Chain A
Amino acid sequence: MKKKEKLKNQWQYHLMLLPGFLAVLIFCYIPMYGLIIAFENYNVGAGFASPWVGLANFKYLFNQPTFLRTITNTLFIAIWKLALGIVVPVTIALLLNEMKSSKITRFYQTLIYIPNFLSWVIMAGVLMDILATDGAVNSILASLGLAPINFLGSSKIFPWTMIWSDVWKGFGYGTIVYLAALTGMDPALYESADVDGASRWVKITKITLPLLMPTIILMLILSLGNVLNAGFDQIYNLYSPVVYETGDVIDTYVYRLGIQQAQYSVGTAVGLFKSVVSAILIAVSYVLADRLAGYRIF
């Protein structure tokens, strides 16, 4: 530990901070003031001075079956995405790590990372094309003699379409993180295992996986704040009223209510509710990250 010395020219550092400080003050803090419309019956004529209604908007919300439905839908989709978003990349990373040819590994890595960079607008267009009832995937199913699947139009299947397409788009990212962690491991451990004649399976389960555990826990904790983020960009661009029952999530609900149906106060109330819950989850997860994984983000 270094001793704390006096910084010279303190004011210059503060001057450097000023632009960022102002940007955040104006574009993040001032809108927070607007959250008071969640407690008002927002009237466009009166603006922020609209009549105060206290918690009425929240009461209204929690009596709406359509709102309660969005919470369960959000949790269902988000939690599955989190779980599979860890299991799939870890598995793929372990398998890639077993590959003997590093050239092929690198080539594969390049391929699986592609979908990650494309926007959900593009991906939605691609998915709508290939998952249509007469699209490529269903043609393949038909040629295998299987019944067609209504991936985007059936409320039973829609959430799974969202979950798997999100995993498909994102697993390249996780895979590379885990692979980076794996390559940093001490080869000596494996060499001694080889001496003992351990099988691949034993090496994976007894050495690799335990070594990977801290990274897995860290990634899990860091994504905990996303439990209420089921993916607005993705779902908004792919859903339709037919699948609202299982596919409508908090963010899409806020958008429809707040902007498409002009219920500004209720829309803001949902947003605030989500912000509070997410903030608690993020705070908890950062404490957990510190305690369990020894990772401090700031």
Chain B
Amino acid sequence: MKKTRYTAFDFFLVIFLGIICITCVLPFVHLLAVSFSSNAAVSAGKVGFIPVDFTLASYDYVLKGGKFLRAMGISILRVVLGTLLNLALMVLTAYPLSKDELRFRKVYVVFFVITMLFSGGMIPTYLLVSKLGLKNNILALILPGALPVYNMIILMNFIRGLPREIEEAAWIDGATPFQTLSMVIFPLLGPSLATVGLFSMVGHWNDWFSGLIYMSNPDMYPLQTYLQTLLVNFEQLLQSSGNGADIMAILSKMNARTGRAAQLFLGALPIMMVYPFLQKYFTKGLTLGSVKG
């Protein structure tokens, strides 16, 4: 094709959109700078996007005592277990529902879709979880949302789009539905499973509310719940840090703002790390889920 010609408008576009993009990133850069700066520099308003009077005191403080790391461990366990369970149930449910000839298919679909419209609400759900003895148990964070219906339907639509002939060949060879699913269909689900799986992962990682409700023991809080309680209480936490020499050394270099910034940054870090991977599949998944007719 012919050589691209750049006009003033093109430059304007690059700059204008660039500014918008920067607003999406700068707050985090600022936060990062704050978290690595000393309390004095932050209080004096000297910190912009580069750490001033560089110190790791805030990170020392946040990671000391192991509460943060334990909460992160609980979150990781939850993401792993929750995502695996979600994927298993989604595949097992989506596959039969993709078959128009399935008896009672309509009933099943209505059964599942109703739960997208109605819910028992916070209090009755809490009472049920409590009666099942799941309080203070990681299962309480996983089981209530074991089957994400919306994502299951995305998956079902994807399976329906697969060529039928592949399955029929397997049937002719005498494969049972279970065998067909695991040997033939499952390997074809790659990109769509990655998409819904990543939806699940991010959902599990980011959820803070069920931790707050179902874990009466704060030692069992997943990371986002732990962070949420600290957003409001960080100042008070600092005051109760005791008065050992080592802690005093840390406290002299930090304050609630730098500490909170460090917490937030550490809380965001895992997602940021898998972000490039996530983005690739989310983009695919979006076109898969919402634009498909």
Contact = CB atoms under 8 A, between A and B. Distances in A.
Main secondary structure of the interface of B (DSSP, over half): helix
Given A27-B125, A254-B122, 4 more contacts: A10-B103, A23-B143, A31-B128, A117-B278
A218 interface: yes
Contacts of A233: 208-209
Nearest to A179: B283
A95 B121 contact: no
Given A34-B124, A35-B121, A117-B202, A129 B143 contact: no
B32 to A, nearest CB: 11
Interface of B: 4, 6, 9-10, 13-14, 16-18, 20-25, 27-28, 30-31, 34, 45, 48, 88-90, 92-93, 95-97, 99-103, 108-109, 111-113, 115-125, 127-128, 143-147, 149, 152-153, 156-157, 164, 171, 176-178, 181, 202, 205-209, 213, 224, 227-228, 231, 257, 260-261, 263-264, 267-268, 271-272, 275-276, 278-279, 282-283, 286-287, 290-291, 293
Interface string A222-238: 10000000001100010
A209 to B, nearest CB: 17
Contacts of B290: 177, 218-219, 222
B279 A113 contact: yes
A283 B117 contact: yes
Contacts of A8: 171, 177
Chain A, interface residues (CB within 8 Å), range: 35 or more
A277 B128 CA distance: 24
A146 interface: no
Nearest to A100: B4
Given A4-B100, A111-B24, A121-B267, A298 B117 contact: no
A295 interface: yes
Nearest to B146: A23
A275 B117 contact: yes
A211 to B, nearest CB: 13
Nearest to B276: A110
Interface of A: 2, 4-10, 12-14, 16-17, 19-21, 23-24, 26-35, 37, 92, 95-96, 98-101, 104, 108, 110-115, 117-122, 124-130, 134, 136, 139, 168, 172-173, 176-177, 180-181, 200, 215, 218-219, 222, 232-233, 237, 254-255, 258-259, 264, 267-268, 271-272, 275, 278-279, 282-283, 294-295, 297-298
A128 B178 contact: no
19 contacts: A9-B176, A13-B99, A16-B96, A17-B108, A21-B111, A24-B115, A24-B149, A27-B145, A28-B120, A31-B120, A35-B121, A95-B17, A104-B14, A110-B279, A111-B24, A126-B27, A180-B283, A294-B293, A297-B153
